[in-house]
Amino acid sequence: MMKVIGLFKSPLTNRYTRMETHMHRLIVAGFALWSLIASPTYGEQGETTATVFTEDGAWCWFQDPRAVYVRGKHEQTYAQWMTRKGELQIGAYDHETGEILIHTLKENWDQDDHNTGAFLVLPNKRLMVFYAQHCKQELFCRTTSNPEDISQWEDEVTISNSDNITYAHPVYLSEEKKYYVFWRGPSWKPTFATSSDGISWSDPQILIQESGRESTSIRPYLKVISNGESSIHFMFTDGHPRDEVENSVYYLKYEKDQFIKANGDRVGSMRDLPIPHKSSDLVYDGSSETGRAWIWDIAIDEQGFPVIAYTRLPTETNHRYCTARWTGKQWLDVEITPGGKWFPQTPEGHTEPEPHYSGGMAIDHADPSTLYVSRPISGIFEIEQWSSPDQGKTWTSIAMTQKSTQNNIRPLVPRGTPKDKQIVLWMFGEYTHYTNYGTGIQLLEVED
């Protein structure tokens, strides 16, 4: 049995109490209760264990990283999610003891999975969390008081008090000694601010905007990854696939005050902002016969080249999982597998409002030739691991869950997971809309 310890803030005392309960830790071979949710498989993978991180949690996929792996005095995975009561919670799972700590960072934060935050792990192993409510005012950050400890936090910092803020993608560049955070701002365009200390922040600037497409009805979606030293990689779209019938995928890199394409061609500098789509790499053309696209993840391979995971959407019921990676000379763009249709459970008699919500995909950032997808098998969304032996040209799969009775969706690999470990998290359970869900979070660790 795994001991689960939750830290809960008392509204009367403003202190934290420890509540102890027990949950089953799944070891694939002999299990009962939680096998009704998902049945991890093993064999080629070695011994496989799965843990219910929380029974009440959901996340959107446009805040990164939502989970991080940190090895210091302890070996822990940290994740964050939104509860059904509208709480933003941070969880810590200790891989050595199996203990789980849960801290509520924000209460009355609305039941909306878009309100999930993103982590930044500092050199001293303290955690910064960046968070905002969906299309509301203010973007915040907060830092743990001590390394590897989510029970105590420093005061909340307001990064921007502008309206219509959503999402967060924090980065720290050690060569510049500067913090960056990217979000969707009041213009509905990718926006960012910088700081030298994580407390005082610059005025926001629009990062990407095409001339003639300034309308707030046009909203490019953004994903971000950095080497933590000198470079930041971006992938982005024209807008939302619901609104953009030819939604394409673009790439841009920032390094040493310069924006460049994957081949090194200069696009502009910080003085040339915002950068237009037409100046960036066109990775996938949404006007092609395979249809509009949406983005899921971006990583950097051992050569420092970008690897992108995205979906092609020929129709609302035909989602296709794809990757594109820069080879040093060109983009290698490959379809991996069909992904079925949307995963939200549309109420009978209603039209699905989010038909482009795929089950989800996530790259293993320590090995970008490995990724995880969620796709329907016999009517239920299951998690699969796909891997490529030839730098993304061909792919094979292994089932991570099977014969589930509830959907398994939106997988992610904790950022910072080393190459000798395989850890994947995902949501499981009922999901109707981003404001109406009954999901939990599960963590699966493959032991060699």
Q: What is the pLDDT of residues 279-307, one digit of tens each?
A: 999 999 999 999 999 999 999 999 999 99
What is d(CA 61, CA 167) in angstroms, rounded to the nearest whole number? 9
Secondary structure (DSSP) of 34-49: GGGT-EE--BTTBEEE
C-alpha radius of gyration, the chain, whole number: 21
pTM of this structure = 0.90
Asked whether the beta carbons of 324 and 331 are under 8 A apart, the reply is yes
> Bridge partners of 89?
81, 104
Reply yes or no on whether the pLDDT at 447 is more than 80.
Answer: no
Distance of CA 70 to the CA centre of its chain: 17
Distance (Å, whole) CA 49 – CA 41: 9
- Residues 362-389 have pLDDT tens digits of 999 999 999 999 999 999 999 999 999 9
Residues 6+ apart with CB under 8 A from 81: 54, 57, 58, 59, 66, 88, 89, 91, 113, 116, 441
Average pLDDT over residues 195-216: 97
Q: Residue 33: what are its φ and ψ, rounded to 5°?
A: -55, -60
State residue 49's pLDDT score: 59
Which two three-digit tokens encode residue 248?
A: 């394409």
Distance separating alpha carbons of residues 33 and 405, to the nearest angstrom? 12
Residue labelled with tokens 């203990």:
99
* Residue 221 CB partners (closer than 8 Å, separation 6+): 62, 236, 237, 239, 240, 294, 295
The label of the residue with tokens 């035909």 reads: 318
**Each residue's pLDDT tens digit, 223-235:** 999 999 999 999 9
User: Structure tokens of 143?
Assistant: 């830092």
**Which whole number is the average pLDDT over 325-335?**
98
pLDDT higher than 70, residue 44: no
Q: What is the mean pLDDT of residues 2-30?
A: 31
CA 439/CA 141 separation, integer angstroms: 26
**Pseudo-torsion of CA 201, 203, 206, 211, nearest 10°?**
-170
Taking the CB of residue 147, how many other CB atoms lie within 10 A of it? 16
DSSP 8-state symbol, 109: -
Which two three-digit tokens encode residue 171? 């980065």
Residues 137 and 159: beta-carbon distance below 8 Å: no
At CA 185, angle to CA 179 and CA 187, rounded to 5? 140
Q: Is the pLDDT of residue 333 over 70?
A: yes
Is the domain spanning 2-447 CATH 3.20.20.70? The answer is no
pLDDT at 419 over 80: yes
Mean pLDDT over 204-221 rounds to 96
Helix (H, G, I), strand (E, B) or coil at 241: coil
| CA–CA separation, 76 and 58 (whole Å) | 20
Residue with tokens 């930041």: 232
Query: Whole-angstrom distance between the N-terminal and C-terminal Cα of the chain?
Result: 21
In angstroms, the CA 382 to CA 399 distance is 8
Task: Give how far the C-alpha of residue 288 lies from the chain's centroid of Cα atoms, to the nearest Å.
Answer: 27
Length of the chain as a residue count: 448
Of 360, 227, 221, nearest in space to 299 by CA? 227
